[in-house]
Chain A
């Protein structure tokens, strides 16, 4: 496989059919972490949270990273999403090194290619549900203005919240809020969804619904990376990786 620039690649990619992507994906990972290290500097001591993590995700894969609290899961998510910067190592998205991009391009890349779901939902309290979904599209500006509202309502229909579209987040339950957060993450149609303990604050029945949503997303050829300490979620994964003290096992 010859090395393509991101632009060239994206151009080709947008013209391809699903079958092409699957064929392509079997040879090249969507995202790849190479030898990631993260050492937090605190006044008392340096805390090594990640110690050389290497992990790649293919298109269409549902990868779950499982580990105890404090193992370094959130740190890993923050580095892969480029929310934080690694002490050493690199992250490649479709062979492009993310940390080589200037800050603003990195932000744009994140908005376009990643859907991020946080443990604490993180919806905007003064916006209604559908506006919370739409704001992602407004920020990126790639989806035509006239289609955004329809698309937001459509995504809410997919997560089963259409009837709550005009409420503010405080008026719906935690599980519903997390589904809104997922709809928001999907707004710009990213190829990869990344979630940090998305079910950590939810009961088991609601958690199941969330996992179902992820599975349907994967079924459409997209990828999911999820970190959790909950071993009950592992059955949904196409691949499970265990993390312990900042290192991957096996």
Chain B
């Protein structure tokens, strides 16, 4: 009796169950190549698992983040106005369209972290703590409301600043007034953009504390919830306009700006709603690609199995198996891949979604309650795991079983002698290719469908890889573009009342600073033809021959040095947001309550950080009545040259110290590089995710190539036998396989390069739009192309390892047995 020892469990189970020998055969054949079994099931698991990961994660985000956000009763629109009493909120609520209105005071301040660094802080005072209903936060420690000289910190702010309940903190207001407050509680506020992203901490105090800190006890933000189910942007802005016209302005409180909370979100949606959706969309595209690739791998593998078993298929037919029976055998084969892949995909998807949701939770400051397996996600995963492999495998199966019984038994293993293609003729003309390699290349390029899948997979991986790099270089290029508008080494904000001349002179006295220039800054709104007003616009007054800006003109020309000319240059951010802005056209801008008419003389490229209007320094200071005052000093170590990182840091340090000592500004200075650090960090995360996906694709592509090479060896058994018989050494066989692998890889690189010309701008546009809601200039990454060449060479070598070993191990006797 044969001993069961050494055989696996599957073998024993199949035997005990007295199964149809056909199914046993399929099962054993699967087990006889464990690596292949693992590769295919893992590739299905990765594709289907990614689907689960993304669907589950978006479920979690919907359930936890959006639910936590909704629980806070988010405002639809904010009105920022001159300090007003809280009764205004009641008056606003009297309007039919207003469901709820709440007054809040927000004050810009600074807080010193435990490390001794001054960070931006927004202090909030809620008008009526007993009726705190809009944009609510929830206490995690301590009591709300805070008492006098107490502050409640937002939990992420507290965490990053290093404070706990009971600690004393230093808070600074304008004019460097400093106050010590006690942390009395920790709150969780999902309404605020987290400290980790925006770099602004949030704290909550009561009005008495604010009064003690020397501020007037009034409110400056009206938070409004509009009546109705789903409130659109238009409706929210309309209602806000009505509140302004009917409530605030008649009572004598001018409105400075009307804003919908969030980063381009719809009213009532989470502030990052669009960005999250964009990010999920990208991940979805990736999961579709991963699934497609695992489909390619399945086609490859099933083709390999069919070719390897061609003779057995012939014998099966000779002993009475119908074609239908054989098709069903191989479909079962695929089904086993599918089921195992599906079973692996479930935990993979769950763990992945747990990781993704927690990553998002840390970033976006919300809590993940639990990770659950939902039926609909499970059903989608099941459908893809079962349907996709069967759907794609049916073609090679029908194709592979179509061969006649005679051909299957007697003709297999001989290179077919079909017609010679043009490519082959071309190949044979290259003298330097040695005959065995030529033979193998012929075989490779003759099997067009099989080659198509391998090439397709690798091409896609390459297109993805290069597109990721191009996306990154487009972002970098865009940053370079934006850098034109922050072309300083360091900058420092000035409080009101500082003279332009004094500030410039002081800066130039600093050793190592070769150039200084003062800007005047203001806020304004665009008054449209229908008298409605835009969101806030930054108004910059600068010397027309400024050296700290290198405007890139899209249309028209830059400001000419004609004082009081009423000419302005607008940025593309404003020009695309508002209709009817063009060179030569007049626009109306309201600055400090008065509307003025200007002529647009030029449009400069996108700034990303918002709409901006440039005008002559003198013109602006006349309009604001702040003659000879400066709001910001921008310096360069050397005129006409941007300094290195070290230079920037040095200059910034000196500028800050000198201005502090001279009593000109207590602010921190900012370098050009630090201005971009927030941008680049987000982009780095995205680049990492994209490259991870490209790496995954490359892995699957490599497996496909390895499979194709393996099939080729099977098909050329006799040739290899002959080669061995005429004395081909192992290394010669290995060289042939390697050369073949490299040729296919190289072809895929060329095709990938071509495809990337299309995929790169699309991916760049999708990513950039998702993150920044803006279109950008596209930049193709040649570095990505070159790097991918290196990667593809590695893939070529790596993919040939296993098949080459197989070829070298083939014994002449085995080849004969095969006969």
Contact = CB atoms under 8 A, between A and B. Distances in A.
A111 B15 contact: no
B317 A107 contact: yes
Contacts of B324: 104
Contact of A124 (B15, B312, B322, B325): B312
B21 to A, nearest CB: 4
Contacts of B312: 124
B25 interface: yes
Contact of A116 (B1, B318, B406): B318
Interface string A110-126: 11100010101010101
Given A124-B312, A127-B25, A134-B21, A166 B2 contact: yes
Contacts, number: 84
B424 to A, nearest CB: 15
B814 to A, nearest CB: 11
Interface string A129-169: 00110111011100000000100000000000001101100
Contacts of A116: 318-319
B20 interface: yes
Contacts of B325: 139
B29 A126 contact: yes
Contacts of B318: 81, 83, 110, 116
Interface in A53-81: 78, 81
A131 B16 CA distance: 12
B320 A110 contact: yes
B320 A139 contact: yes
B687 to A, nearest CB: 47
B809 interface: no
B211 interface: no
Contact of B25 (A81, A107, A124, A140): A124
A104 B322 contact: yes
A188 B1 CA distance: 25
Interface in B442-480: none
Contact of A128 (B15, B20, B817): B15
A244 to B, nearest CB: 22
B44 interface: no
B24 A104 contact: no
Interface in B310-337: 311-312, 315-325
The binding surface of chain B is classed by DSSP as: helix
A131 B406 contact: no
A169 to B, nearest CB: 11
Given A107-B322, A184-B319, A135 B22 contact: yes
B21 A131 contact: yes
Given A116-B319, A122-B315, A126-B28, A139 B406 contact: no
A163 B28 CA distance: 22
A140 B22 CA distance: 11
A108 interface: yes
B370 interface: no
A138 B21 contact: yes
Given A83-B409, A128-B2, A139 B316 contact: yes
Nearest to A187: B319
Nearest to B319: A136
Given A84-B406, A126-B29, A131 B24 contact: yes
A127 B28 CA distance: 8
B322 A138 contact: no
B417 A43 contact: yes
Contact of B406 (A83, A127, A128, A163): A83
Given A104-B322, A112-B320, A126-B32, A135 B25 contact: yes
Contacts of B22: 135, 138-139
B25 A126 contact: yes
A138 B20 contact: yes
Interface in B208-236: none
A138 B20 CA distance: 6
Contacts of A120: 817, 819
B18 interface: yes
Contacts of A85: 406
B15 A139 contact: no
Contacts of A188: 320
A239 interface: no
A110 B405 CA distance: 12
A88 interface: no
A43 B29 CA distance: 37
B320 A136 contact: yes
A131 B312 CA distance: 15
Interface string A79-110: 00101110000000000000000011001101
Of B28, B320, B410, the most chain A CB neighbours within 10 A belong to: B320
Given A83-B406, A166-B2, A127 B21 contact: yes
Interface in B16-45: 18, 20-22, 24-25, 28-29, 32
Contacts of B406: 78, 83-85
B405 A83 contact: yes
A88 to B, nearest CB: 17
A108 B320 contact: yes
A16 interface: no
B29 to A, nearest CB: 5
B37 to A, nearest CB: 13
Contacts of B24: 127, 131
Of A135, A140, A185, the most chain B CB neighbours within 10 A belong to: A135
Interface string A172-194: 00000000000011001000000
Given A83-B409, A84-B404, 13 more contacts: A84-B406, A104-B322, A112-B320, A118-B315, A124-B312, A126-B32, A131-B15, A131-B24, A135-B25, A138-B21, A138-B22, A139-B321, A140-B320
30 contacts: A43-B417, A81-B318, A83-B409, A85-B406, A107-B321, A107-B323, A110-B318, A110-B319, A111-B321, A116-B318, A116-B319, A124-B315, A126-B25, A126-B29, A126-B32, A127-B21, A127-B24, A131-B25, A132-B21, A134-B21, A136-B320, A138-B20, A138-B22, A139-B22, A139-B319, A139-B321, A149-B18, A166-B1, A184-B319, A188-B320
Q: Lowest 3 CB-CB distances: which A-B pairs, in order?
A: A111-B320, A135-B21, A166-B2
